[in-house]
Amino acid sequence: MKILVPVKRVIDYNIKVRVKADNTGVDLANVKMAMNPFDEIAIEEALRLKEADVASEVVAISCGVTACQETLRTAMALGADRGILVETDVELQPLAVAKLLKAIALNESPQLIILGKQAIDDDANQTGQMLAALMGWPQATFASKVVVDVAAGSVTVTREVDGGSETLALTLPAIVTTDLRLNEPRYATLPNIMKAKKKPLDVIKPEALGVDVTPRLTTLKVTDPAPRSAGVKVANVAELIHKLKNEAKVIA
Partner 1 sequence: MSILVIAEHDNLTLKVATRNAIAAAAKINITLATEIHVLVAGVACGDAAQQAAAVAGVAKVIVADAAHYGDQTAENLAALIVAQAGGHTHILAAATSNGKNTLPRVAALLDVAQISDIIAVLDADTFVRPIYAGNALATVKSADPVKVITVRTTGFDAVEASGGHAVIENIQASTDLGQAKLVNRELTKSARPELAAAKIIVSGGRGMGSGENYHTVLEPLADKLGAAMGASRAAVDAGFVSNDYQVGQTGKIVAPQLYIAIGISGAIQHLAGMKDSKVIVAINKDPDAPIFQVADYGLVADLFQAVPELVAAL
* Least separation in angstroms between CB 44 and partner 1: 15
> Residues near 178 by Cβ (< 8 Å), separated by ≥ 6?
38, 39, 41, 42, 45, 114, 115, 116, 117, 142, 143
**Which one, 80 or 127, has the nearer CB to partner 1?**
127
* Least separation in angstroms between CB 196 and partner 1: 28
**Which one, 16 or 198, has the nearer CB to partner 1?**
16
Exposure pattern of 166-185 as b/e (b: 16+ CB <10 Å)?
eebebebbbbbbbbeebbeb
**Which one, 202 or 239, has the nearer CB to partner 1?**
239
Residue type for 103, please?
Answer: A
Shortest CA distance to 56 belongs to which of 7, 101, 4, 116? Answer: 4
d(CA 51, CA 54): 7
**Which one, 190 or 252, has the nearer CB to partner 1?**
252
Are the CB atoms for 14 and 68 separated by under 8 Å? no
* Least separation in angstroms between CB 83 and partner 1: 25
Shortest CA distance to 199 belongs to which of 86, 84, 87? Answer: 84
* Least separation in angstroms between CB 197 and partner 1: 31
Are the CB atoms for 20 and 74 separated by under 8 Å? no
* H-run or E-run covering 143: strand 139-149
**Which one, 163 or 210, has the nearer CB to partner 1?**
163
* Least separation in angstroms between CB 81 and partner 1: 28
* H-run or E-run covering 104: helix 94-108
**Which one, 190 or 251, has the nearer CB to partner 1?**
251
**CA 97 and chain centroid, separation:** 12
* Least separation in angstroms between CB 128 and partner 1: 8
* Least separation in angstroms between CB 160 and partner 1: 5
**Which one, 59 or 143, has the nearer CB to partner 1?**
143
Work out the angle between the directed axes of helices 127-135 and 94-108 (0-180°, nearest 10): 50
